[in-house]
Amino acid sequence: MHILHVVGARPNFMKAAPVLQALARQNHVKQTLVHTGQHYDFNMSDVFFQQLGMPTPDINLEVGSGSHAQQTSQIIARFETIVVEHKPDWVVVYGDVNSTVGAAIVCAKLLIPVAHVEAGLRSFDRTMPEEINRLLTDQISDLLFTPSEDGNRNLRMEGVAAEKVHLVGNVMIDTLVRLLPSVPEQLPAGIPGRYALVTLHRPSNVDDVEWLRLLMDMFLEISREVPVLFPVHPRTRSRIAEAGIEVSSRGSNLQILEPTPYLEFLALQSRAAVVITDSGGIQEETTFLGIPCLTVRENTERPITVSMGTNTLVGRDVACLQTELKAVLAGKAKRGTVPPLWDGHAAERIAEVIAGAQTGSLPVRDSSSRC
């Protein structure tokens, strides 16, 4: 059986690594790794492959940056040639980025079975490009691997056939569990003992100049009470520079950092007093780590991190963010629990299903994955 994996952006790498490793233990499985090149910066791509122990991609489509339409169309055009040439039995796609939906569309047209890892997540906000990617990918996938029970419910409501859906747990947590012992014991020089950690990259936060300016002013103000570390995504850095937004002021302690490789970021995240983010994956990682997370979004496709975990949605409301932050720093942080099946073995469950599938047909669904 030939399985072709498609990755394109930093979150994909963390999801694909454990699946590749789990399937490598299957004797009858051959694997090919395709990198679309959606993320191509060293700190956003190459170093992740190194730290995650992933093989060098067999193929790089070198798509690069562009609008959503440009990027997705380039992925479709270039990936079609690869599928026709390699004739895989299954294509595995991850998450909700443009590479995910682009590859899935190609396979649907060519009648190649698609497995979607991290299926069923919904924000119910169609202004988010990722929501469109999720909806389309799930409708044309043949196997759908969900990280939590809410994913199963969403797919059932959308009419996805129950036999396609498998509740397997969270593959990002597989990577976290495996690599947590490798996290550096000492933080780099200049990192304080207690700090808030910030990440921002979504258009709703970084493309609205006035809102971004307001956020940066607030981070400067916060940093007078607790140091703020901000590894800046290349997109966010460009927006800050274009808008001429100040990132320092007298008496503040806001540290602007380069994008941080996985292990180094995990070290920062696991020791933070609080994480302020708009990232989906970080909402999950902080829940597992028991770190308070304040999400600067009006909604989340990972509601289990709010209902069970340590995550709190603060929306686009500076007053709410300040109130929640003060509560955390005062020792009144939200206490959470780890969701079911976030145990470091999700990829093994995925591998069992895929490896047991016959070419061109769907596997028999295990009773434990019942919706």
Residues marked active site are found at: 201
Of 48, 35, 41, which Cα lies nearest the Cα of 93? 35
CA distances from 270 to 80, 130, 181, 291, 295 (A): 41, 27, 12, 7, 17
Assess contact for 274 and 333: CB atoms under 8 A: yes
CB-hemisphere CA count at 13 Å for 177?
16
Question: Among candidates 40, 34, 79, which has minimal Cα distance to 58?
Answer: 34
Single out the residue of 69, 117, 95 nearest to residue 8, CA to CA: 95
Residues 6 or more apart in contact with residue 130 via CB below 8 angstroms: 96, 97, 123, 280, 301
Biggest distance spanned by C-alpha atoms of the chain: 65
Which spans in 111-200 are helix H? 129-140, 149-157, 171-179
Residue 208 has a CB neighbour count (10 Å cut-off) of 14
Tell the residue number behind the tokens 């799930």, with chain if given.
Answer: 138
CB–CB of 292/298 below 8 Å?
Answer: no
Q: Residue 327 — φ and ψ, nearest 5°?
A: -65, -45
- Strands of the sheet with 165-167, listed across from one edge: 59-60, 30-35, 2-7, 90-94, 114-117, 143-146, 165-167
